[in-house]
Amino acid sequence: MLIVLLSYFVGSILGGKIYGLLIHRDLAKEGSGNTGARNAMRIGGKKAVLQRSIPA
């Protein structure tokens, strides 16, 4: 049961928020306002999408 709860909480963390913290920019306030991969590419280029798509 603990694994299920932990998995739920880890899965609810937005990758765009973490990426934004790493590059010191807020993806939700720039570009389209979405924290998804397309907006990450608009702001950070193709390197940003590759960093977001590789699992930790």
Q: What dihedral angle (degrees, nearest 10) is formed by the CA atoms of 49, 25, 23, 27?
A: -20
Domain ranges of the chain: 13-53
Mean predicted confidence (pLDDT) in 30-51 = 78
> Above 70 in pLDDT, residue 49?
no
The more confidently predicted of residues 16 and 8 is: 8
What's the pLDDT band for 26 if we cut at 50, 70, 90? Answer: confident
Mean predicted confidence (pLDDT) in 17-42 = 83
**Mean pLDDT estimate for the chain:** 81
The more confidently predicted of residues 19 and 49 is: 19
Residue 33 burial class via C-beta count within 10 angstroms: exposed 0-12, middle 13-18, buried 19 and up: exposed
What is the per-residue pLDDT for 54? 64
